[in-house]
Amino acid sequence: MKRISPKQAKSQGLARYFTGKPCKNGHIYERYTASRKCRKCTHVKVKKFSGLFKFCTSCKKKLKKIPKNFRYKSKKQKVLTFRPVCRICGREQVRKYNITLKGKLSKQKRDKSYVASGGRKTKTARAKACALSNLRRARIMNATPKWFTEEHKKEIQKIYMSCPKGYHVDHFIPLKGKNVCGLHVPNNLRIITAYKNLSKGVKLI
């Protein structure tokens, strides 16, 4: 392994560095540039505590997913603050929080911003969500080619953002056509009226 100082690693944009010096637990291992923590220590910690949180802390049911992020309230006393709950108990907690004064105030704040935005998501947020869900749909159908890059993704997002109300972004060649299958790429997208898009189905027009 190459030996570099944390400063060098930071200037080079590296996520990890290696000095060759042992950590306080005696590991001679890579360290993270952001936190300067030993990688082995972090792994040991995760392994030790990930098993602890297999169960919901309020109803003691087994959790489907084991949460990975845990932390101490105070390091000296080793008090853990992270309390995983199952979905049902989580919902119950939110309901109880919303009744309290603090919860009510935060809900008012949320409602205000919701009303200010016209009772719906902002236009850009809607367009982004739409672009993302369509990308997911295309991925499932294997309609994104190997040369699909981040730039293509942004280009597609722009197309969705420029789409006015009452219009839809349509795949010129349908993703799941009868005879041909199109790709989810910028060249295959066009903006047409909602009526046309919905009446088109999987036909090639």
* Of residues 37 and 73, the one with the C-beta less far from Zn ion: 37
Q: How many CB atoms lie within 10 A of CB 171?
A: 22
Q: How far is the CB of 89 from Zn ion (least distance, A)?
A: 3
Of 201, 194, 138, 117, the residue nearest 163 (C-alpha): 194
Q: How many CB atoms lie within 10 A of CB 77?
A: 7
* Of residues 91 and 107, the one with the C-beta less far from Zn ion: 91
Distances 165 to 8, 28, 168 between C-alpha atoms, Å: 51, 60, 8
* Alpha carbon 193 to chain centroid, angstroms: 32
What's the maximum distance between 2 C-alpha atoms anywhere in the chain? 70
Q: Given the rule CB under 5 A, which residues bind Zn ion? A: 23, 25, 27, 38, 40-41, 56, 58-59, 86, 89
* Of residues 86 and 169, the one with the C-beta less far from Zn ion: 86
Q: How far is the CB of 64 from Zn ion (least distance, A)?
A: 11
Q: How far is the CB of 127 from Zn ion (least distance, A)?
A: 37
* Of residues 24 and 68, the one with the C-beta less far from Zn ion: 24
Q: How far is the CB of 37 from Zn ion (least distance, A)?
A: 8
